Structure 1
Amino acid sequence: MNGEFVISIAEKGIFTLLIIVGPLLLLALAVGLLVSIFQATTQIQEQTLAFIPKIVAVLVGVVIFGPWMLTTMVNFTAEIFQQMNQFVR
């Protein structure tokens, strides 16, 4: 096992992580932007108003994207276990 091999595994892991959490982060960002626009137009300056819609949106996102996220993680884990013989040589 050389340095390039370790870096490629880390790169695949980080890429998989970004692919998995990307939709949820974008969803939370969009809801946060909408709540901020709502707060600006109504001049409501309550700091806690943004948390509940974000939490609900992320939970809905987990329900919608959950099977795809789980499949992606399982595929990555299976790929790592298939390459186990290269780790322990």
Structure 2
Amino acid sequence: MTPDTAVHIVSNAVYVIALVVAVLVVPSLIGGLLIAIFQAATQINEQMLTFLPRLMITLAMLVLAGHWIMGTISDLFIEIFQQAGRLVG
């Protein structure tokens, strides 16, 4: 295995993981920002008002994008195992 191949495998894995995390975290961050703006405008300082909507947004994203996430991660693992077979043998 050359260093270029190892770098390609690791960079591909980091890219896929960052993409999957972004799909889950970015909508939650946007929802949290909107809730924070609402709280600042109304001066309501309730912790449940920030936690529950962000939890629901994250769960909704898991439901909506779960199939795509599993497909992307399984494609990554299939590619890694196929490369491992070629690199070893």
Give the match's secondary structure for 2:68. helix
Which residue is 2:51 aligned to?
A: 51
Percentage identity across aligned positions?
35
Matched length:
89
Matching residue of 1:85: 85
Partner of 2:65: 65
- 2:18 aligned with 1:18: yes
TM-score using structure 2 length: 0.90
Q: Which amino acid aligns with 1:12?
A: N
The root-mean-square deviation of aligned C-alpha atoms, in Å, is 1.4
CA distance, structure 1, for counterparts of residue 80 and residue 3 of structure 2: 16
My pick for the range that moved more, 44-53 or 5-14, is 44-53
User: In 1, Cα distance between the equivalents of 2:41 and 2:77?
Assistant: 47
TM-fit CA distance, 1:48: 4.2
Runs (5+) with no aligned partner, structure 1? none
- TM-score (ref. length: structure 1): 0.90
Q: Which 5+ residue runs of structure 2 have no aligned equivalent?
A: none
Cα deviations by residue, 1:35-84 (Å, 9 ceiling, x for unpaired): 10110111012344311111110001000000011111111111111111
